[in-house]
Amino acid sequence: MKFLDEAKIYVRSGDGGAGAVSFRREKFIEFGGPDGGDGGTGGDVWVEAAADLNTLIDYRYQQHFKVRTAGHGMGRLRAGARTEDIVLKVPIGTEVLEEDHETMIADLAKLGDRVRIARGGNGGFGNHYFKSATNRSPYHANPGEVGEERWIWLRMKLIADAGIVGLPNAGKSTLLSVVSAARPKIADYPFTTLHPQLGVVKAGNNSFVLADIPGLIEGASEGAGLGTRFLGHVERCAVLIHMIDATCDDAVDAYKVIRAELKAYSKILAAKPEIIAFNKIDAVEPKVLEKAVANFKTKIKKTPLLMSAATQKNVDEAIFALYDVVKKTRRKERMPDPEGVVTEGWQP
């Protein structure tokens, strides 16, 4: 299945049915009168977060969604039929945006979240509605209300607890394949990973979701390489693991390149907790590695973890370090806002 995380679609709710102009005229009935029924209500268009979906590929092949016009009113006070709503199923974590691609309509972050994006038109009143003591035979009825139409963007953001970022060939996909059941494509050339991959990682008796994001390069925020197209998928993560190839010439420069691209994309993303990991330490001489780590500590003022995804050396330490941050961050998110808590009376 092809991975598609953005789609632009056109939606139109149903028009309301028109009211009817009708009069009751039957043999042996002395008094008739207006009996035109009301028109039906047009159906709405909804967007709903559903399970078992991980792409917006369905909206690549169908971009227009229109609800039929509701039934018109008829004589004998018969009302028109209401048209059924259209419910567009999207993956959990999808954002609904206006046509400008910036204004957010809704964020469907949980299963079952739904939003009405186009309201159906009301049906028109039949002529029975307008009868009165001074107007016994009204010859007019209301037309149905016109439905709403609009273009919207659907933008999916994967629901993951932790995300892996780094330059191409830093070993991100290898780590994901080692710690989870995910099987991303792995090769010895840049940009092997072309779209995000998810895996469920065990940390003792607990588990969390880890996302492998395609590699960034210098100038990604300006469109170089794969650009920053997929960075939106780690905006929901509680922590980032920044992987650096220990065999590279300058680990400090590799770190700064990624940090610059994160800041250029989003200040929120750049402020997320991160764990720095030197990968492929099994391919580096101990003295060379020691010198690189000392240089990194001096210039960046942070201590990296030393690991090898290929041989699984120190991988467990990295996983438990990630889980600790995920647990603390998610706990804070579930805590009530202290400013919103009202306490009455005296408390010790």
Q: Which of 116, 134, 156 delimits the end of a domain?
A: 156
Tell me, yes or no, whether 118 lies in a domain: yes
Q: How far is CA 299 from CA 143, 223, 255, 263, 294, in A?
A: 73, 28, 11, 19, 9
What is the distance in angstroms between the CA of the first residue and the CA of the last residue of the chain? 60
How many C-alpha atoms does 37 have within 13 Å on its Cβ side?
15
| Residues in the chain, total | 348
Q: Is 184 inside a domain boundary?
A: yes
246 close to 283: Cβ distance less than 8 angstroms = yes
Same domain, 147 and 207: no
Q: Do 180 and 287 belong to one domain?
A: yes
Domain final position from 156, 184, 199:
156
Calculate mean pLDDT across residues 59-77: 95
Region 84-104: mean pLDDT is 94
pTM to 2 decimal places = 0.77
Residues 217 and 301 in one domain: yes
- The verdict on 138 and 176 lying in the same domain is no
How many of the other CB atoms lie within 10 Å of CB of 137?
11
CATH number, position 38: 2.70.210.12
Report if residue 327 sits inside a domain.
yes
Number of domains into which the chain is organized: 2
Residues 134 and 194 in one domain: no
145 plus 170 within the same structural domain: no
What was the pLDDT predicted at 346? 43
113, 131, 156 - which closes a domain: 156
Residue 339 lies in a domain: no
Weakest mean pLDDT among 12-16, 42-46, 57-61: 57-61
Domain-located, residue 272: yes
- pLDDT tens-place string over residues 296-326: 999 999 999 999 998 999 999 999 999 999 8
pLDDT digit string (tens) for 150-185? 999 999 988 888 999 988 888 889 999 999 987 888
Q: Which amino acid is at 42?
A: G
Q: Average pLDDT of the chain? A: 88
> Is residue 315 assigned to a domain?
yes
Task: Concatenate the DSSP letters of all residues of 145-178 into one string.
Answer: PP--EEEEEEEE----SEEEEESTTSSHHHHHHH
Q: Strands, DSSP E only, in the chain?
A: 6-12, 23-24, 33-34, 45-50, 64-66, 86-91, 94-97, 104-108, 114-118, 149-156, 162-166, 197-203, 206-212, 239-245, 274-279, 305-306
Instruction: Write out the E strands in 204-287.
Output: 206-212, 239-245, 274-279
190: domain CATH number?
3.40.50.300
**Per-residue confidence (pLDDT) for residue 297, from 0 to 100:** 93
Domain extent, residue 175, equals 162-334
Asked if the structure places residue 340 within a domain, the reply is no
